[in-house]
Amino acid sequence: MSVGRKSNRSEVQNDHSKSMDGLVEGAQAVIAANPDRASREMGLAPGTHVRMLRNHPRDHAVVVALGDARFFVSRPIAAHITLK
């Protein structure tokens, strides 16, 4: 039963993460919108599946995985990338 609870908590947490900077480490999401042209051109486009690798509040950037690629995304840009 504790395993089921843990799973449900992470699902709820993922549902409440509206922006990339709110995604917890290890969680996965799909980019819904990204107003930043440069990061869209690098591959952070709507419909892209991402996995959060590192998200520490004191860091200036988050680290996300897109398949085999790893990206450092500045926290201000990550705050504007919405997820679903």
Signed CA dihedral, 16, 30, 7, 60: sign only: negative
Domain region containing 15: 2-83
Provide the CATH number for the domain around residue 48.
2.30.30.90
Cα dihedral: 14, 38, 71, 75 (round 10)? -60
Q: How many domains does the chain have?
A: 1
Per-residue pLDDT tens over the stretch 55-83: 999 999 999 999 999 999 999 999 999 99
pLDDT (0 to 100) of residue 83? 98
Tell me the pLDDT tens digit for each residue of 14-47.
444 599 999 999 999 999 999 999 999 999 999 9
For residue 33, what is the enclosing H or E element? strand 28-33
Q: Do 61 and 75 form a contact (C-beta atoms < 8 A)?
A: yes
